[in-house]
């Protein structure tokens, strides 16, 4: 479970962003700040996965 946690966070963040676009009534600054924070979470999780994979490859 701990190994797949970044991937789960990425999937949930993408679902939240898609839902935010579907059910939004107005585009204001709060919408863009929330979307930006979710995109940054996705990017950080991708970097974590890449770093973890590199470390695992160096062990073998």
Cα separation of 51 and 45, whole Å?
10
Instruction: Tell me how crowded residue 38 is: count the other CB atoms within 10 A of its CB.
Output: 18
Question: Is there a contact between 46 and 10 (Cβ–Cβ < 8 Å)?
Answer: yes
- pLDDT at position 57 is 83
Cα separation of 41 and 56, whole Å?
22
- pLDDT at position 27 is 73
Question: 0.85 exceeded by the pTM?
Answer: no
Angstrom distances, CA of residue 56 to CA of 2, 29, 60: 15, 41, 7
Per-residue tens of pLDDT for the chain, all 60 residues: 567 777 787 788 888 888 877 877 777 777 787 888 888 888 888 888 888 888 888 876
């Amino acid at each position: 479970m701990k190994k797949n946690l970044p991937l789960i966070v990425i999937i949930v963040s993408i679902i939240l962003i898609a839902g935010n676009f579907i059910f939004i009534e107005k585009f204001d600054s709060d919408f863009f700040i929330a979307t930006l924070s979710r995109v940054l979470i996705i990017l950080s999780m991708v970097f974590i996965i890449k770093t973890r994979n590199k470390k695992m490859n160096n062990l073998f």
